[in-house]
Amino acid sequence: TPKGSCLESVKIAIDTGYRHIDGAFVYYNEHEVGQAIREKIAEGKIKREDIFYCGKLWNTCHPPELVRPTLEKTLKILQLDYVDLYIIELPMAFKPGDAIYPRDENGKIIYHETDLCATWEAMEACKDAGLAKSIGVSNFNRRQLEMILNKPGLKYKPVSNQVECHPYFTQPKLLEFCRQHDIVIVGYSPLGTSRDETWVNVSSPPLLKDAVLNAIGKKYNKTAAQVALRFGIQRGVVVIPKSFNPQRIRENFQIFDFSLTEEEMKEIEALNKNVRYVELLM
Ligand code: A2P
């Protein structure tokens, strides 16, 4: 993100009413997010406890002894005492070190063997130390979730699993599994991503051009984006839309003054293509 745009966007978001902020060390803007939160606290607009900040443990930091120092580094960048939620960003580990994407001489990612259960125990210790109020995971499939849930001596269950989720990728089976285990699904790319070809599978059509979403939007005087977000929250999925545009930041918050009928929800569910925009090919 261009320097400063994240600071401004988060301040506008907080003024608009957003309280949940989804961040990560690898977004390289945590210093701006932290500054925005601290400025809004100093202004008296919010208290720290009003904000729900989610941070993420990157793939190069899975060895258990790296987990707490990594979270402490994030807290130092944010200049906050704790995060509300800390999650394992991906279930696969990369070779530890300064390179975020460590590669061999052939350009292949260098993976690292770690035990996800041991990483999880280090996450539990972060919660016990008060550095994270809650702990969760991201991009975990059912098998990976079960590994944690069935871990002998499990102290805390993951409270949430952040995965791609939107009308073209509705995740019915994972959603049901997570419901049964009281794990909240946090849906990323709820608007169908920015369609940046460097990391997005653009062969899947643009979500916001969808005829059904637009037709339903017309009925309520809402945009396709607002319908897609409303669809998420109405089925119990937390949505984390991304925008750096003040008008669209506000637009994406105007989703609490209408509701979709059961029939409309079914119609939108039927749009599922089972195709990911974010394939995470690494
Ligand atoms: P911008 O930052 O210019 O608003 P996702 O949340 O699925 O990752 O989607 C993010 C993309 O969607 C960004 O490119 C963002 O661009 C765009 N976007 C965000 N809100 C809206 C909206 N209400 N209508 C159209 N596009 C939007």
Q: From the alpha carbon of 196, which atom of ligand 1 is closest?
A: 14
Residues whose beta carbon lies within 6 Å of some atom of ligand 1 = 189-194, 208, 223, 225, 241-245, 248, 251-252
For residue 219, the domain's CATH number is 3.20.20.100
Instruction: Tell whether 232 is covered by a domain.
Output: yes
Burial of 113 (0-12, 13-18, 19+ CB in 10 A): exposed
Counting the structural domains of the chain, the total is 1
CA of 263 to the centre of ligand 1 (A): 26
pTM value > 0.85: yes
Instruction: Tell whether 276 is covered by a domain.
Output: no
Instruction: Tell whether 279 is covered by a domain.
Output: no
Instruction: Tell whether 201 is covered by a domain.
Output: yes
- Residue 222: per-residue pLDDT: 98
Percentage of the chain lying above the pLDDT 90 cut: 98
Distance, in Å, from the CA atom of 149 to the CA atom of 168, rounded to the nearest integer, reads: 28
CA of 127 to the centre of ligand 1 (A): 33
Instruction: Tell whether 277 is covered by a domain.
Output: no
- Residue 3: per-residue pLDDT: 82
- Tell me if residue 188 is catalytic: no
Write out pLDDT tens, residues 124-163: 999 999 999 999 999 999 999 999 999 999 999 999 999 9
What is the domain extent for residue 122?
5-271
Write out pLDDT tens, residues 247-278: 999 999 999 999 999 999 999 999 999 999 99
Among 163, 242, 253, which residue has the most ligand 1 atoms within 8 Å of its CB, making it the best to mutate? 242
Instruction: Tell whether 280 is covered by a domain.
Output: no
Instruction: Tell whether 281 is covered by a domain.
Output: no
∠ Cα 208 214 218 (to 5°): 145
